[in-house]
């Protein structure tokens, strides 16, 4: 992505951001340098489309099949308050519970904010900006512990994580830094063709590999949702690898196919 002289995004397509608004310049690390296990990044076509719900089913599927599978998220905003005032990372703890991971919150998520706003704004409001060296270190610890690590994003792929005088960082920058491929969760309903195709095209512009799409809130036999699935595949060439109906407790996908998405 490209910034104009004021540090604003000038174009949605490009190779990098201006030096003062990008992640700290580093040589791109090899997979061997970054991790021991395999990992994948789960992003969504927007907020509240069920990304965490689907992520829980993904990790559960692997663990139920005997895989050493774990979960990690860089930042959560909109946390709940516990009875003693402690912040509870609801997304991470949901996956922890559904997939029976048995992890502590501290190992599941690096930054937890109370305010239900974009992470960059929550961080600014709390004067606790995201340190991406810490995020990478936490990610590496998780991927060294688990054979299959699912990293969940915040909101969509263009969700800002940090936007201050030092850094302008969006989710896609972090995905690039960690060398991850993406799995996209999209709602099955009206408007999803547009949002799914735009997400796919942005990932391609950033040269981030795409492993597939999962449609959430899918109603088998619904003529519009069946057509949405077809049109996403026809327009982009990216497969819809699974669909999830409301209330599903299992992900309907072959576990070998699922684990082969991880790199």
> pLDDT tens-digit profile of 186-231?
999 999 999 999 999 999 999 999 999 999 999 999 999 999 999 9
Asked whether 261 and 148 are in contact (CB, 8 A), the reply is no
Q: Which residue has the tokens 């999209």?
A: 186
pTM (2 d.p.)? 0.88
Res 143 pLDDT > 80:
yes
Structure tokens at 72: 């990690």
Kind of pairing, strands 9-11 and 2-3? antiparallel
- What pLDDT score does 260 carry? 98
Q: What is each CA distance from 24 to 12, 88, 187, 196, in whole angstroms?
A: 20, 30, 34, 30
Encode pLDDT of 150-187 as tens digits: 999 999 999 999 999 999 999 999 999 999 999 999 99
User: Nearest Cα to 228, choosing from 215, 217, 238, 237?
Assistant: 215
257 is known as an active-site residue = no
Query: Where along the chain do its domains lie?
Result: 30-71+132-259
**Residue from 60, 61, 73, 211 carrying the catalytic annotation:** 73
CA 105, 108, 113, 114 torsion-angle sign: negative
Which of the four pLDDT bands, split at 50, 70 and 90, describes residue 36? confident
Contact 167, 23 (CB under 8 A): yes
State how beta strands 160-163 and 168-170 pair.
antiparallel
The CATH code of domain 30-71+132-259 reads: 3.40.50.300
Task: Quote the pLDDT of residue 3.
Answer: 43
38 pLDDT above the threshold of 70:
yes
């Amino acid at each position: 992505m490209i910034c104009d002289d004021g540090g604003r995004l000038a174009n949605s397509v490009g190779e990098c951001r201006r030096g003062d608004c990008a992640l700290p310049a580093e040589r791109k690390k090899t997979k061997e340098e970054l991790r021991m296990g395999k990992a994948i990044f789960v992003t969504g076509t927007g907020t509240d489309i069920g990304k965490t719900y689907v992520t829980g089913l993904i990790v559960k599927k692997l663990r139920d099949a005997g895989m050493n599978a774990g979960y990690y998220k860089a930042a959560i905003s909109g946390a709940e308050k516990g009875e003693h005032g402690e912040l509870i990372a609801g997304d991470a703890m949901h996956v922890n519970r559904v997939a029976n991971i048995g992890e502590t919150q501290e190992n599941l998520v690096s930054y937890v904010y109370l305010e239900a706003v974009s992470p960059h704004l929550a961080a600014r409001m709390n004067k606790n900006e995201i340190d991406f060296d810490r995020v990478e270190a936490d990610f590496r610890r998780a991927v060294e512990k688990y054979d299959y690590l699912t990293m969940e994003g915040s909101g969509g792929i263009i969700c800002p994580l940090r936007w201050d005088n030092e850094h302008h960082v969006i989710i896609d920058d972090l995905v690039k830094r960690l060398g991850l491929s993406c799995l996209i969760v999209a709602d099955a309903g009206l408007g999803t063709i547009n949002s799914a195709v735009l997400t796919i095209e942005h990932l391609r512009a950033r040269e981030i590999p795409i492993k597939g799409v999962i449609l959430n809130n899918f109603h088998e036999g619904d003529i519009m949702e069946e057509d949405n699935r077809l049109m996403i595949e026809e327009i982009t060439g990216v497969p819809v690898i699974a669909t999830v109906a409301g209330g599903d407790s299992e992900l309907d996908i072959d576990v070998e196919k699922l684990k082969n998405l991880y790199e």
